[in-house]
Amino acid sequence: MQKQLKKRLEDIRKKGNYRRLRYIKPITPTQIMYNGKTYLNLCSNSYLSLHTHPDIMRAAKDVIDEYGAGTCSSRSVSGSIDLYRQLEKMIARYKGYRRGLIFSNGYMANIAIISTLTDSEDVIFSDELNHSSLIDATRLSRARKVIYKHRDVNDLEKKIKRERSTGRRYVVTESVFSMDGDIAPLSDIYELREKYGFHMVLDDAHGTGIFGQKGTGVEELFGLSGSMDVHMATFGKALGSFGAFVLSDEVVINFLVNRARTFMYTTALPASCLASAIAALKMIRHNAGYKDELWKNIDYMRTHLNAAGFDLKDSFGPIIPIVVGEDTKTLRMQELLMRKGLFLQGIRPPTVPEGTSRLRLTVVRGFTQEDMDNALETIIHAGKKMGLV
């Protein structure tokens, strides 16, 4: 086995696609220490910079005294700590759904939704750029998979019309695509749902806390709050904590409690995660200013990167892909930026399609004007050197 794996690793390395872990330490909400040097973190999903907010950290510390460091068993076997009920009610109300169920993370929540709710006669229509957790979930499901072109409602409709199966039909999409930063055409898909009567499953991992007047997510942006058949998102991005949730009605949630294997056969989240998520949710419900500060930074960064001539795809929101193309060129650009104190990752296949390797830059609320100006100057300089602009 080792011999074969070594050979495969060598092939990966030759393609410029080899990954190694970088061990870092956070210093401030936006800076990290790596190999003894300070970097501006340009790849955090803590969009509202809440993961180091004193009130949120305090909430986590306080409950450890009361509940301990871990739960040490699954929710089904040893009882759910009461913080679960509080958070499930809060998140369902915040997003306009009847019931909520918390999962240990978004990957497991997506596996649960798709593999548990679908059956062998069913069909899943999935956007071609859906997150790997959704792809793996469809692989685990016994339903048939139909991939439609990215954000292409005409292609989706064509494929729905062509489908002859008698089972249920599900359309699954991310709201904000995690590697492209663009938005799913939710209103158009919703119109198709009215016409064809399928079930709509939305992953709002990167929309929650950011989009819409109240910041409840991308559904709010389209005037569709609470209208998906199944909604999923995480506490581990803008909310600065950890864990994920599924929102739906009573029947769907009870079914997941009874049949979702990634819910039933895993240790429950520690109280500190739940308490920090509760604190973060209270904070963003009462403070839309955080979201507005984030959007100011997003607009500033995108406007200047666009003006410089980078290919940012159709991104809108805090995820800004800077498309480079080749894997090795992407790595060279990443190294140039790292040398100048910018920490961000080159994203390569299989995470993104061949030939579209990119730097995935994320904008957060905590950036100062100086952070952004320095980052822009460095990126534009490197972009010129690499012939990207």
Ligand X SMILES: Cc1ncc(COP(=O)(O)O)c(C=O)c1O
Point out the residues that are catalytic.
Answer: 45, 131, 174, 178, 203, 206, 237
Render the burial of 309-325: b for 16+ CB within 10 Å, e for the rest. ebebbebbbbbbbbbbe
User: Per-residue x/- marks for ligand X, 232-251, CB under 6 A?
Assistant: --x-x-------x-------
**Nearest distance in Å: CB 8, ligand X:** 25
**Residue number with CB closer to ligand X (115 or 378):** 115
**Nearest distance in Å: CB 97, ligand X:** 18
Q: 3-state DSSP call for residue 63?
A: helix
DSSP-derived secondary structure letter, 267: P
Q: Tell me the residue nearest to ligand X as measured from the CB.
A: 106
**Residue number with CB closer to ligand X (46 or 378):** 46
Query: Given its phi and psi angles, is residue 226 left (phi above 0), alpha (psi -120 to 50 degrees) or beta?
Result: left
**Nearest distance in Å: CB 372, ligand X:** 24
User: Per-residue x/- marks for ligand X, 60-89, CB under 6 A?
Assistant: ------------------------------
One-letter amino acid at 138 equals: T
Please tell me the distance from the alpha carbon of residue 66 to that of residue 54, in angstroms, as a whole number.
19
Which of 40, 146, 205, 221 is close enough to bind ligand X by CB under 6 A?
A: 205
Q: Is 17 in the site for ligand X (CB under 6 A)?
A: no
What is the sign of the dihedral through the CA atoms of 220, 276, 369 and 290? positive
Query: Given its phi and psi angles, is residue 5 left (phi above 0), alpha (psi -120 to 50 degrees) or beta?
Result: alpha
Nearest to 50, CA basis, from 271, 183, 215, 174: 215
**256 CB burial (10 A radius; 0-12, 13-18, 19+):** buried
**Residues between 325 and 364 that touch ligand X (CB under 6 A):** none
**339 CB burial (10 A radius; 0-12, 13-18, 19+):** exposed
Please tell me the distance from the alpha carbon of residue 93 to that of residue 9, in angstroms, as a whole number.
47
Choices 26-34, 201-209, 260-268, 307-315 (CB under 6 A): range interacting with ligand X: 201-209
Which of 203, 219, 220, 327 is close enough to bind ligand X by CB under 6 A?
A: 203
Which of 88, 174, 180, 371 is close enough to bind ligand X by CB under 6 A?
A: 174
Choices 99-107, 213-221, 267-275, 305-313 (CB under 6 A): range interacting with ligand X: 99-107
Q: Is 116 in the site for ligand X (CB under 6 A)?
A: no
**Nearest distance in Å: CB 174, ligand X:** 5
**Nearest distance in Å: CB 186, ligand X:** 15
**Nearest distance in Å: CB 248, ligand X:** 17
Work out the widest C-alpha separation in the chain, in whole angstroms.
60
| Terminal CA-CA length for the chain | 45
**Residue number with CB closer to ligand X (17 or 110):** 110
Q: Is 107 in the site for ligand X (CB under 6 A)?
A: yes
Please tell me the distance from the alpha carbon of residue 85 to that of residue 380, in angstroms, as a whole number.
48
**Residue number with CB closer to ligand X (106 or 318):** 106
**Residue number with CB closer to ligand X (169 or 206):** 206
The encoded tokens of residue 298 equal 């997003």
Q: Is 178 in the site for ligand X (CB under 6 A)?
A: yes
Q: Is 133 in the site for ligand X (CB under 6 A)?
A: yes
- Is the distance from CB of 342 to CB of 379 less than 8 angstroms? yes
**Residue number with CB closer to ligand X (218 or 301):** 218
Q: Is 105 in the site for ligand X (CB under 6 A)?
A: yes
The contact set with ligand X (CB under 6 A) reads 105-107, 110, 131, 133, 174, 178, 203, 205-206, 234, 236, 244
